[in-house]
């Protein structure tokens, strides 16, 4: 078992005819993901990937024709919000937005709408999801992880890759890896994913990768302390970042004295979480 994606995932790719969308669609299909459709307005009727994947003009038509239940979005930032709205209106159960640079005001409109529906949004500005040996939706390299019982959730894409590889080097595999993205407003947070891992029988322990900015890690610490029975190890990026300077993600900034790494680490340790000083130490924290 895994969370969010599995062998039954029927994936639709929004922006499949663009360079990035097509490249990563080929990578996802090679890994074993079942890509059933692509969507690019104005290119309906075309076929891509050696004639294996049909392209449709809209998500609604594509979903009705193929039974797609998951969408991944590779469109420019100015079109991303509309792409999310379109997928949600078509009844897609899981929407993964890879696009970086989506305006915060657009995401505020998206969240207000998505929260009324039975649809889960991951991202934007996230690497997606990987269930090792089964499927991947997004841009996480498939060869850096092996199947196992460690659930991983992260705000940082590159840190995710580093930690998955560190686990692999120790012979430790992942059940599912979820990149939630580092933007100030996104669709899925740490608590959402931690709750899924807590309920997942294939996950025995969890790695959580946070960073400076916001209070999501502190909220996650409270959830871990009061709701979780499985061990959690964590790493917080940006421990030397100066106040007022954004580090990497739009949400990774210390403002008005909040969002500091030290506060996050303190809250997590108080909740019984083992916090690594360096990401490569995480595999050893489970003992």
230 within 8 A of 201, measured Cβ to Cβ: no
CB 152 within 8 A of CB 245: no
Count CB-CB contacts under 10 A for residue 268.
25
Instruction: Give the span between the Cα atoms of 171 and 148, in whole angstroms.
Output: 9
Residue 265: helix, strand or coil by DSSP? helix
- The residue from 24, 120, 205, 249 that is catalytic is 249
Q: φ and ψ at 248, to 5 degrees?
A: 80, -85
Instruction: Select from 138, 111, 134, 114 the least CA-distant residue to 126.
Output: 138
Query: Is residue 240 within 8 Å of 262, Cβ to Cβ?
Result: no
What lies within 8 Å, CB to CB, of 139 at 6+ separation is 24, 27, 98, 127, 128, 157
String of DSSP letters for 219-255: HHHHHHHHH--S-EEEEEE-TTPPTT---SSTT---B
* Distance, CA of 197 to CA of 228 (rounded, Å): 9
Question: Could you confirm whether 249 is annotated as catalytic?
Answer: yes
Q: CA-to-CA distance for 182 and 252, rounded, in angstroms?
A: 7
- Token pair in block for residue 175: 């059940």
| Active site amino acids | 249
């Amino acid at each position: 078992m895994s969370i969010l994606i599995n062998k039954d995932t029927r994936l639709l790719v929004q922006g499949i005819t663009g360079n990035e969308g097509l490249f990563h669609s080929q990578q996802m299909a090679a890994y074993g993901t079942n890509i059933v459709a692509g969507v690019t307005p104005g290119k309906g009727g075309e076929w891509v990937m050696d004639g294996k994947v049909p392209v449709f003009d809209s998500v609604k038509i594509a979903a009705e024709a193929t039974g797609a239940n998951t969408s991944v979005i590779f469109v420019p930032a100015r079109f991303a919000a509309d792409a999310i709205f379109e997928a949600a209106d078509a009844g897609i159960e899981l929407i993964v937005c890879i696009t970086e640079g989506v305006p915060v005001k657009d995401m505020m409109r998206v969240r207000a709408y998505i929260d009324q529906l039975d649809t889960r949004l991951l991202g934007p500005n996230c690497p997606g999801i990987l269930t090792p040996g089964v499927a991947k939706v997004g841009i996480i390299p498939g060869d850096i992880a092996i199947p196992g019982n460690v659930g991983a959730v992260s705000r940082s894409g590159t840190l995710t890759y580093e930690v998955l590889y560190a686990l692999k080097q120790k012979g430790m595999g992942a059940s599912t890896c979820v990149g939630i993205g580092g933007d100030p407003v996104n669709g899925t947070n740490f608590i959402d994913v931690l709750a899924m891992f807590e309920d997942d029988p294939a996950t025995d322990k969890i790695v959580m990768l946070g960073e400076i900015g916001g209070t999501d890690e502190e909220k996650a610490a409270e959830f871990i302390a009061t709701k979780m029975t499985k061990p959690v190890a964590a790493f917080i990026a940006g421990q030397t970042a100066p106040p007022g300077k954004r580090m990497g993600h739009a949400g990774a900034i210390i403002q008005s004295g909040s969002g500091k790494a030290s506060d996050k680490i303190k809250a997590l340790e108080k909740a019984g979480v083992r916090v690594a000083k360096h990401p490569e130490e995480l595999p050893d924290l489970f003992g």
